[in-house]
Structure 1
Amino acid sequence: MSFPIWILTGPTASGKTDIALKIAESINAEIVSADSMLVYRGMDIGTEKPSLAARNKTPHHFIDIVEPWEEYSVGQYVKDFEVIAQSLYQQGKQFIVVGGTALYLKAIMDGLFEGPPADWEYRNSLKAVAMEKGPNYLHKMLADIDPETADKLHFNDQKRVIRALEVFRTTGQRISSFQTQFGHKNPKYDCILVAIEYNRDILYKRIETRVDRMFERGLVNEVRSLLSNPLGLSKQASQALGYKEIIDFLKGKYTLSEVSSEIKQRTRRFAKRQMTWFRSFPNIHWIHANPASDAMRLSEEVLACFTQNKPLSKETM
């Protein structure tokens, strides 16, 4: 028997954290993060991690669980999520999954094809080919061996094109042949997905304000401190939005003004990609926000979506 999972998502800077905290306070719920960067200790400012005061008031899960020099995969997240979700459910505790990492959310809702481990040498060789011959070349390579997957991926989606090529090289099988379960409802959970959206111009202004706030809070010093550790940053952590650009700034690639503009531009692009992912999710409930919307009002709307679709807890099922 499946049990209900409440999921709150939306693009970066849409206010998910504040809305979730309001809901959690009103119904005594816990928060389960679905953000791939909140897992890292010490990466606080660039991820806009919930404050310690908020976390002390409302229990949070999947925040500060690994060191920044360690890797943490979506496959590990799914395994850990199942343990936490089952435990909270058995205790009769309501929880809200909150985050914008689309792959984490899709893995919760649809299950996950884990596949073989990463082959970084092969990945880097493919990236070099893409740099020399263009992303279309890799996409054509994929189309020759796995046209079904190639049809689903844009040629600029280099990360997933490379992963598909890597799976074929490692296993001799097309990634599409492994993914028969992916894209179908996970039988373990009955997910209710609610997303916050803003008009594009308003969201972009919120992103600019957020990035400015990160710099004011000391993002550059945070990255400098992380890099001072002899163990450094993992590949995943060093590619985090905001951190990658500050690392380049510290290497002299950008001026301070340029790196701020670069982070804003890349964050806008990231938000656009997030929205593309979210719009592909079936049965998603959209809540349109505007500059006059406050977290309390939005939290009431989100909670209404949750409760109108599924009961609050195990006891009411």
Structure 2
Amino acid sequence: MQVYRGLDIGSAKPDRAYLEKLPHHLIDVRDPHEQFTAGDFVREADRLIPEILSRDRIPVLSGGTAFYFKNFLYGLPEIPSVDPSIRDELNRLVNKKGLGPLYEELQICDPPTAKRLNRNDSSRIVRAVEVFRGTGKPLSAFEVSHEQRVPYRVRIIGLERDRSELYSRIDRRVDIMFNQGLVGEVRRLISRGLTADLPAMKGIGYSEFFHMMNRGCMTLEDLKDTIKQDSRRYAKRQITFFKSLDGVKWFSPLDRGGIMREVFP
């Protein structure tokens, strides 16, 4: 979500002072109505990393999106083309009946992908069902290679906290986002004409506002609790995903010495 301009508070984007101290890439590179796929990420990372290395700097791929990280390491799965009319039909179904029926279909035809996705992520849910209907095979069957495609020595570091501490930190982070003005940020985005079906508005911290508007009976406290719950579920899924990767070394975030020895053996 940090690739999108204007999505600052809800995506926990680093502030300007921090960015000046530690240069970041791929922040504020898309308008909210544009898509940013795993393929886009891989292509941009492939472009940036040699340039960073040429300056004798160490590129760090940081974040919780393990799916994008896996695609960078091993490449994108080769999925056959699907008749575009299938996607049109699925989008009409979502507009008519909501995303629920499609997510239930995905849980039946492709349980691993359904477990990995946020049940409110309409674009990825539509894509997964589209692939199944068009090929007869679940999206999870199109696995990426197990051979690393990048010509680099890669250190994969996972940061792991006690689960109760992690959830407590997530809850505090959501409280901070609201105190920083998340409601106003979402109001400004909606005033610019951004709608629930746009890629940028499907992220946790943004999509819940549209659900509140549709239900009409939620309070801001209810909304805050929903964002906390969705964030905790997402963290749990991402931990599971990272644990499935080969070669991950796990550290407490407080073990700076251990992490430095891993990076600079």
TM-score (norm 2): 0.82
One-letter amino acid of the structure 2 residue matched with residue 121 of structure 1: D
Residues 99 and 67 of structure 1, relative CA distance in 2, 3 Å threshold: same
Aligned ranges 1:1-317 → 2 under 5 Å: 37-113=1-77, 115=79, 116=81, 120-124=87-91, 131-132=100-101, 135=104, 137-140=105-108, 142=109, 150=110, 153=112, 156-157=115-116, 163-170=127-134, 172=135, 174=137, 179=142, 181-230=144-193, 232=195, 235-250=198-213, 252-289=216-253, 293=254, 298-308=255-265
Residues 133 and 110 of structure 1, relative CA distance in 2, 3 Å threshold: closer
**1:41-96 deviation digits (Å, cap 9, x = unpaired):** 11111111111011112211010111112111111111111000122223332221
**1:151-182 deviation digits (Å, cap 9, x = unpaired):** x8266456777645423544x47467984643
Q: Aligned partners of 2:131 and 2:31: how far apart in 1?
A: 28
One-letter amino acid of the structure 1 residue matched with residue 58 of structure 2: Q
Q: Aligned partners of 2:115 and 2:218: how far apart in 1?
A: 25
Q: CA deviation at 1:288?
A: 2.4
**1:220-278 deviation digits (Å, cap 9, x = unpaired):** 00000011113557622111101111233355341011111111111111111111101
Q: Aligned partners of 2:239 and 2:54: how far apart in 1?
A: 33
Q: Is the 8 A contact 1:68 1:234 kept in 2?
A: no
In structure 1, list runs of 5 or more residues that go unmatched.
Answer: 1-36, 143-149, 309-317
Q: Is the 8 A contact 1:287 1:301 kept in 2?
A: yes
One-letter amino acid of the structure 2 residue matched with residue 247 of structure 1: F
Larger fraction in strand = 1
Whose RCO is larger (CA < 8 A, sep 6+)?
1
Q: CA deviation at 1:138?
A: 4.2
Q: CA deviation at 1:199?
A: 0.8
Residues 213 and 180 of structure 1, relative CA distance in 2, 3 Å threshold: closer
Q: Is the 8 A contact 1:69 1:234 kept in 2?
A: no
One-letter amino acid of the structure 1 residue matched with residue 172 of structure 2: T
Find the residue that maps to 2:157 and give its secondary structure: strand
Aligned length: 254
Find the residue that maps to 1:71 and give its secondary structure: coil
> What percent identity do the matched residue pairs reach?
32
In structure 2, list runs of 5 or more residues that go unmatched.
Answer: none
Q: Is the 8 A contact 2:156 2:249 kept in 1?
A: yes
TM-score (norm 1): 0.70
